[in-house]
Structure 1
């Protein structure tokens, strides 16, 4: 019998007071994400025994309401001011309309049912409050934040989806950590969000006009398996040492070595035996540490993509160090000046596909995100998982592992490619 999730209640949760700001302008980094999906992640906890479940649910609702006082855009809605030529100017109306809070019970689902299967099980998509096909543009009519708290047989799953036109991964976890602080009893939060857009993309803070979107610009695709590959601190140390030794340098980072390893393993597992075949890799570039004018705590999107193409022959014949060095060079080019040039590009909406080339990979997320700092008062999470909204072939979500120094990669590929990859990924 298929395991089921029973929805107990759903309601809108607003801040405890009137919003401290009336609107939030969106810049080019934000607007480029209108046609893709919200960020969605779920945290798994051992069951808290300190209080009744009903009291716990109400406690989480109350603490969420107080947290929204510090993050008024997440309690608002997207809004548009129409202009001539079928264009509109979009912003966040901080109207305190509220985020969605759902309480659910999965009476036959245990923690092991979620974290032990070879691939992320289908049940996880029922634990995160987002529907496949919903885009960030739908924030015009839907909440910008949705939370689902699901009781498991031996634990708790807190799933959260946030509009990606309003937050990136850093801002997403900034909010969740702040909510967990308040849940633990704090009257305030340790790091206040900064909403000022003046020193970010579109430095003159002008309003940006873009074509009005009336349909989903994401091409539909079949659901593919997603598997979490775990790399320990020791394994990562071996990869980094090997990459730097082969390249004759010391500047290749742990993540760059890991990205090169996964890229090469994917190609090795499904080679075309054609040295000239182009292999593609894209990665999200974080701006916060690269742009001196961006303040700590900046709340919004501060990422943009950079891509690299290498022939199959070069990837396989020159080894890990050569591939990692090429990735290092790509990322090193993302300077303050390059970032400012990126902000001047036209906001353009087209079909967004990760797998646009042979075995293309696209990396998102970061191992530096404070995922396991989200202690709501009964201990840190034991694992993090994604649902099915970001189900695209070649997508790789990077997260810190539960133990210090480790990294988890959530990889989405067809079953055939995933099975083949598993044979190569464990070897250094």
Structure 2
């Protein structure tokens, strides 16, 4: 199965009231943003150390549904309004505490920004639709590189296609939730859209004081550094790592290999070969990946705040570019096994005796040499259902200010492999990166 290369990015102007945007041959017509208000309870949510790791950065998700439902814009907007009664922080705003500037979430009920839209194409126009998904105007974005205190914590757009299918674009401030938490919220919106009388999961956002461990300050600082705005010009690519290649790697590893480990190893080696010169065998080329630690730290069921840490795999370019994939898998597995060390002997002051925090401080070296790989598989996005079943496609929408990362997306209908959306190479390295990927599938 060939590796698929995305089309070049298309620059779009910002949306205003009922504007049209042409994406190749696609026209997306948007309504004026409406505010879906939430409950006002005057409460506040104190940010955990996990929340502070993320900072007010923007994340965008696209859910594509090929089975039509009745009036998707109206149906989902109404369900969103009902969901906010169960998730009041989503309708709140960030605010600063006292004179120290420490941020918290104020449950002001100011609401979520919601946009209804229509697209001129059908979802089975594959090439056009794929370009629209990657680079099109199917989601609402924040006006600046970072989310401000006055911005909604959640933005949503529902776009109807000419075939009756629809796409749901969700953009959120990372402080409010990680990907697993947002998947839980969207499942709740789906349940309410279907008329389910009671949510399957009772949401929890404000943990009892001390119930989540305090991450070591060096780790918080390192993760915030990794989340900083990207200034490099990077290529947005949409590729599929074939199932045949993944299965071959698992066989070579004696079955002791997950899909994530196999795909991360492939991306790490291929990108290193594409961007590092042949003579620079000693260059540091770290691989960073997040881990969902809800079970590890005993977070309560239904907790939808941030609960991830970043783990680092250190290696030289010679080791990564010249090594066997199974050896890179082994390095990734060893890093995953060290995740519990972050919390070992961790006290209220955030200090730890494990040394894991010292490893995290190494996230910095040459910025372009570092690759981040994240997985949105098995988090619950694939289970979101607004009335006619699960999405045909779930994907991360890359922002121009986010980079050096690859996101593994849930399976697409009709495709055999793992879809990866990435902004991890400069345009001059894009062809070499895709060629390296293709060379493995032989």
Q: Above 0.5 in TM-score? A: yes
Residue aligning to 1:396: 406
Partner of 1:310: helix, strand, or coil?
coil
Matches of 2:289 and 2:417 in 1, distance apart? 20
In the TM superposition, residue 314 of structure 1 has moved relative to its aligned partner by: 1.5
Residue aligning to 1:62: 78
Partner of 1:290: helix, strand, or coil?
helix
CA deviation digits over 1:197-228, x for unaligned, max 9? 2311439xxxxxx9xxxxx9635444x33222
Which consecutive aligned stretches of 4+ in structure 1 deviate over 6 angstroms post-superposition?
none
In the TM superposition, residue 278 of structure 1 has moved relative to its aligned partner by: 2.0
Partner residue of 1:9 out of 32, 56, 59? 32
Residue aligning to 2:14: none
Matches of 1:135 and 1:76 in 2, distance apart? 17
User: After the TM superposition, which residues 375-414 of structure 1 pair with which residues of structure 2 at under 5 Å, given as runs?
Assistant: 375-389=385-399, 391-402=401-412, 406-412=417-423, 413-414=425-426
The answer for unaligned runs of 5 or more in structure 2 is 1-21, 216-220, 222-226, 358-362
Matches of 1:146 and 1:354 in 2, distance apart? 31
User: After the TM superposition, which residues 217-228 of structure 1 pair with which residues of structure 2 at under 5 Å, given as runs?
Assistant: 218=229, 220-222=231-233, 224-228=234-238
Residues 356, 153 of structure 1: CA spacing in aligned structure 2 closer, same or farther, 3 A cutoff?
A: farther
In the TM superposition, residue 121 of structure 1 has moved relative to its aligned partner by: 4.6
Partner of 1:289: helix, strand, or coil?
helix
User: After the TM superposition, which residues 210-221 of structure 1 pair with which residues of structure 2 at under 5 Å, given as runs?
Assistant: 218=229, 220-221=231-232
Matches of 1:323 and 1:6 in 2, distance apart? 46
With structure 2 as the length reference, what TM-score do the two structures score?
A: 0.79
Partner residue of 2:106 out of 77, 80, 93? 93
With structure 1 as the length reference, what TM-score do the two structures score?
A: 0.82
Partner residue of 1:46 out of 66, 82, 99? 66
Matches of 2:228 and 2:260 in 1, distance apart? 31
The answer for unaligned runs of 5 or more in structure 1 is 204-209, 211-215, 348-352
Partner residue of 1:171 out of 181, 186, 191? 181
In the TM superposition, residue 74 of structure 1 has moved relative to its aligned partner by: 0.2
Partner of 1:65: helix, strand, or coil?
helix
Residue 281, structure 1, aligned to residue 287, structure 2: yes
CA RMSD across the alignment: 3.1
Residue 143, structure 1, aligned to residue 159, structure 2: no
CA deviation digits over 1:85-117, x for unaligned, max 9? xx222211112111111112223x33256x536
Matches of 2:275 and 2:331 in 1, distance apart? 21
In the TM superposition, residue 149 of structure 1 has moved relative to its aligned partner by: 0.9
Residue 256, structure 1, aligned to residue 261, structure 2: yes
Matches of 2:278 and 2:124 in 1, distance apart? 40
Residue aligning to 1:268: 273
| Conserved 8 A contact 1:45-1:156 | yes
Matches of 2:134 and 2:237 in 1, distance apart? 14
In the TM superposition, residue 129 of structure 1 has moved relative to its aligned partner by: 0.9
In the TM superposition, residue 119 of structure 1 has moved relative to its aligned partner by: 7.4
User: After the TM superposition, which residues 362-373 of structure 1 pair with which residues of structure 2 at under 5 Å, given as runs?
Assistant: 362-373=372-383
Indicate the larger mover: 115-124 or 272-281.
115-124
In the TM superposition, residue 406 of structure 1 has moved relative to its aligned partner by: 4.7
In the TM superposition, residue 46 of structure 1 has moved relative to its aligned partner by: 2.0
| Conserved 8 A contact 1:355-1:394 | no
In the TM superposition, residue 237 of structure 1 has moved relative to its aligned partner by: 2.1
Residue 24, structure 1, aligned to residue 45, structure 2: yes
Size of the alignment, in residue pairs? 391
Residue aligning to 2:323: 318
Partner residue of 1:415 out of 427, 432, 437? 427
Residues 227, 354 of structure 1: CA spacing in aligned structure 2 closer, same or farther, 3 A cutoff?
A: farther
